[in-house]
Structure 1
């Protein structure tokens, strides 16, 4: 299993909407995430900076990377583009973090 962490940014006036959309995440999105090996996925918000901290465990890096090519992922990105910073293809602007410590 591979632990991954990254940060993204939600717009300051969209905190509640971002949470609402995730509270109502599409079943097909959940299914796809699990199919591509995501486990133990959490997103945390720092409301003072609008930063989102995401943590998940994936089974295989290559398999996980292919999740971005799915139709449901692309639809989700388009759905979320009005509440967070995104790239031209509507994917979220992501800064991957390097693990420097882990305690089991």
Structure 2
């Protein structure tokens, strides 16, 4: 199943967000892949600071992994540059697919 969602980046942090993801922790990448998450892309709309994420899921969603220590540490690491919930998880807003060309 392919899902999409959006998140909000704090103004002025586009370069830092990309840098942190270019250096994603290997343990986090492994956890995502081991839980069936693949083909994961995040795009930034610099005009609105909106992050648009798309991922293929064959298991848990990335948000379902929030109880793991590595994901909680990643959320804390990213909390200074993103809009987050009280537990540091990113505020996410699911998006409905309305068109797909195969």
- After TM superposition, give the deviation of residue 36 of structure 1 in Å: 1.1
TM-score (norm 1): 0.93
2:6 counterpart of 1:26: no
Give the RMSD, CA atoms, in angstroms: 1.0
2:101 counterpart of 1:100: no
- Name the SS of the counterpart of 2:13 in structure 1: helix
2:34 counterpart of 1:35: yes
- Name the SS of the counterpart of 2:80 in structure 1: coil
Aligned match of 2:71 in 70, 73, 77? Answer: 73
Which runs of no fewer than 5 residues in structure 1 stay unpaired? Answer: none
1:54 and 1:84 map into 2 onto residues whose CA distance is 14
1:59 and 1:29 map into 2 onto residues whose CA distance is 17
- After TM superposition, give the deviation of residue 101 of structure 1 in Å: 1.3
Which runs of no fewer than 5 residues in structure 2 stay unpaired? Answer: none
2:40 and 2:80 map into 1 onto residues whose CA distance is 22
- Contact kept in structure 2, 1:8 and 1:93, CA below 8 Å: yes
Report runs of 4+ in structure 1 exceeding 3 Å deviation.
none
* More helix, by proportion: 1
2:36 and 2:96 map into 1 onto residues whose CA distance is 20
Tell me the matched-pair count. 101
1:70 and 1:51 map into 2 onto residues whose CA distance is 26
- Contact kept in structure 2, 1:9 and 1:85, CA below 8 Å: yes
- Contact kept in structure 2, 1:36 and 1:66, CA below 8 Å: no
